[in-house]
Structure 1
């Protein structure tokens, strides 16, 4: 009952906040052309509510206690209609832990394994956007997702999403999208403000609906985490050939800004998949190379999507990382399911980094509710660098 009461109180508080924000301009909307325009924009506004309750359990070698986290993310999203091609967006998130037997990096519970879902309330997005004839400019805190999120993403799996403070400009035609952002602060998943000068550029060209190529360049200059400062350029190809599909990516990375290291590391990813009736089979290889003891790194990526859900390789080992993986997925009745096996090794020094099995089942109850169960089993393969880890997630999502 206390949990239900908390959810109701939080939802009410966020709804009152949203109503107040939207109602404020109405006081200034007199019966003029200007006032009517504002009124129409407000009438076209949307308020969305998302609630995501999740249990996460972690059994990790090296800890006497297992981690248990029962958290609730409450999100309210406000999007206004357009007025003279301008619109506003606001998104507020609250994360509350009903069970906090875990290390969030904020709560001091270092006797438990890490579950990176710290409690707190923050502004996830707050922006002003201009959109006209294929040109858009967004100023403020915003969500930025490039391609498959291997280099720039939002890490939306975690309860506190990663968003970006800065200016983003986009130009779009039927086949071409050009996207550039200047970011001065990253609102990361650990509720930290990570400052620096970050230039994010991506261009995507669609030859047709089945053939897409993207080119990207990222200049990251961190104020504090200097070894993350890097210059990355690369390309991604995504192609579909009836039941066969391929993805291929190649990138090069070197030091940038005040990074004390001197290196030039390579990134390679190649995937081939085949749709066999209701089953999809996929085989892939990913290399995050190493040079002079410094490995290719992707600090802005949605890393949970890659190299195993146990999150053992959120930071690339100094020796680099090779990941050979096989995925089979499909649908059974109304349940979408997937199974992936990873075999990890180093780029240099021939180190066995172990293996991992990831399983997931997702059931959409209706348009408002869905359920998810997910398992990650990582075996270190005898490596002294990484520890055996098992993770379990049970999740219920509601959106209105």
Structure 2
């Protein structure tokens, strides 16, 4: 506590020297989460036992604003309880910079931001913070923003390298080499509409032995583009989106799409019911084409879509048969409590063939997700959930494992997020 008082006093003294208005906010987060994984991401193989662990995120957020400058620094440590001994001198992951950016506001409409930053738009289907993952997701990028009352235009740019180098070097990080995007948002009456154009360049990887001098490093460019719309009334809300992908990926041509629609109706002030459908294109297993027809939602918060057990598009199901997802959403809120029940019915968007080359049933299975949350304190929230997958033989053909086994997942998480210092 004495150290915290010293830090707070130091920040207050620094603020008192300013000749213009300053805002300083410091907050802290610790978020432990227990998980029971018994067929998470894929059916559990026969004879295997479920995994259990407690992961933990610790973050320190420092926000500063003065005149036309805004800065943010977020340091974090992500760990598994017990991943090092009790007398260790070092940590497995150490301290990472989740965000470290500076923004200059040229005037009320134009601004520019540079550094490590979260890029998140709309429902986070293409760009998202990925907050469920303890490590989150952020980018090294430059962002130019124009904003007025009803419109916003963001232009983003990124160029990545392994390290400082005097000669061309193959980029080995599993990430884009270069990225440019434009995101435009406007309000048309009661409809909010966003348009996105994203160009990602992925460098073709060189395989050992790499000749000297290094050959030309080829970058394939893929474009993702589309729109997101949402609207709401007193008793209902709805949203829909359509995105397409074209260009090249690993020297193969790309032609893919993602389309979805959601409608929610408030039965009472506390109870909401909804229905939705999403179709992500894929390629038939009977096809001999080398082209990529499977849509992949790149940097989205994909845990929030297509079931919480992460069978689809969470580091998996890429360049596969695609997906059809029909789902219901039932939600109940009462003071400090929140409950949600969300069944999903999954089907393949294209042909799956068995070991004999015969077409299988498109139906993959049904997942039922139940979640709850409770506000213990203004700085403390408790949440948890239980999910179960009822997979079919077609699911097992795609994902492996054993669908006849009980495949389920349970979790409990505590989020502690106090504000430790604020000055204005």
2:165 aligned with 1:182: no
Farther off after superposition, 121-130 or 383-392:
383-392
**Which residue of the other structure, out of 330, 340, 343, is the alignment partner of 2:332?**
330
- The 1-side partners of 2:303 and 2:339 are apart by 18
**Which residue of the other structure, out of 49, 61, 64, is the alignment partner of 1:65?**
49
- The 2-side partners of 1:65 and 1:16 are apart by 48
Aligned residue number for residue 383 of structure 2: 372
Within 5 A, what are the aligned runs for 1:45-124?
45-60=24-39, 61-62=44-45, 64-83=48-67, 85-99=68-82, 119-124=93-98
- The 1-side partners of 2:122 and 2:412 are apart by 28
Residues 242-278 of structure 1 show CA distances to partners (whole Å, capped at 9, x for unaligned) of 312221111211133x632223112110111111102
**Which residue of the other structure, out of 332, 337, 345, is the alignment partner of 1:343?**
345
**Which residue of the other structure, out of 398, 409, 412, is the alignment partner of 1:394?**
412
CA spacing shift, 1:22–1:165, aligned 2, 3 Å: farther
Aligned residue number for residue 305 of structure 1: 304
Aligned residue number for residue 212 of structure 2: none
- The 2-side partners of 1:146 and 1:139 are apart by 18
* Secondary structure of the corresponding residue to residue 393 of structure 2: coil
Question: Once the 2 structures are TM-superposed, how far is the Cα of residue 121 of structure 1 from its aligned partner?
Answer: 2.3
Within 5 A, what are the aligned runs for 1:162-241?
162-185=137-160, 194-208=175-189, 210-223=190-203, 230-241=222-233
2:365 aligned with 1:381: no
Q: Is the 8 A contact 1:94 1:120 kept in 2?
A: yes
Q: Is the 8 A contact 2:385 2:410 kept in 1?
A: yes
CA spacing shift, 1:271–1:228, aligned 2, 3 Å: farther
Q: Is the 8 A contact 1:286 1:324 kept in 2?
A: yes
- Between Structure 1 and Structure 2, how many residues are aligned? 355
Q: Is the 8 A contact 2:222 2:254 kept in 1?
A: no
TM-score, normalisation: structure 2: 0.76
Q: Is the 8 A contact 1:91 1:125 kept in 2?
A: yes
Question: Once the 2 structures are TM-superposed, how far is the Cα of residue 20 of structure 1 from its aligned partner?
Answer: 12
Aligned residue number for residue 37 of structure 1: 19
- The 1-side partners of 2:161 and 2:304 are apart by 20
Q: Is the 8 A contact 2:176 2:200 kept in 1?
A: no
CA spacing shift, 1:360–1:180, aligned 2, 3 Å: same
> Counting helix residues as a fraction of each chain, which structure ranks higher?
1
Question: Once the 2 structures are TM-superposed, how far is the Cα of residue 391 of structure 1 from its aligned partner?
Answer: 1.4
- The 2-side partners of 1:351 and 1:283 are apart by 21
Aligned residue number for residue 211 of structure 2: none
Aligned residue number for residue 268 of structure 1: 259
* Secondary structure of the corresponding residue to residue 45 of structure 1: strand
- The 1-side partners of 2:56 and 2:271 are apart by 33
Q: Which blocks of at least 5 consecutive residues in structure 2 are unaligned?
A: 85-91, 163-172, 206-217, 284-288, 352-360, 419-424
* Secondary structure of the corresponding residue to residue 385 of structure 1: helix
Farther off after superposition, 161-170 or 259-268:
259-268
- The 1-side partners of 2:272 and 2:76 are apart by 35
Q: Which blocks of at least 5 consecutive residues in structure 1 are unaligned?
A: 1-7, 102-117
Q: Is the 8 A contact 2:198 2:223 kept in 1?
A: yes
Q: Is the 8 A contact 1:177 1:204 kept in 2?
A: yes
- The 2-side partners of 1:288 and 1:51 are apart by 36
Farther off after superposition, 312-321 or 367-376:
312-321
CA spacing shift, 1:17–1:199, aligned 2, 3 Å: farther
- The 1-side partners of 2:219 and 2:365 are apart by 26
Question: Once the 2 structures are TM-superposed, how far is the Cα of residue 22 of structure 1 from its aligned partner?
Answer: 6.0
- The 1-side partners of 2:49 and 2:378 are apart by 38
Residues 54-79 of structure 1 show CA distances to partners (whole Å, capped at 9, x for unaligned) of 11110121172321121221100111
Aligned residue number for residue 115 of structure 1: none
CA spacing shift, 1:228–1:249, aligned 2, 3 Å: farther
Residues 343-395 of structure 1 show CA distances to partners (whole Å, capped at 9, x for unaligned) of 11111115222121111000011211110011221222222222454211101
Q: Is the 8 A contact 1:18 1:78 kept in 2?
A: no
* Secondary structure of the corresponding residue to residue 38 of structure 2: strand
Aligned residue number for residue 104 of structure 1: none
Aligned residue number for residue 242 of structure 1: 234
Question: Once the 2 structures are TM-superposed, how far is the Cα of residue 96 of structure 1 from its aligned partner?
Answer: 2.3
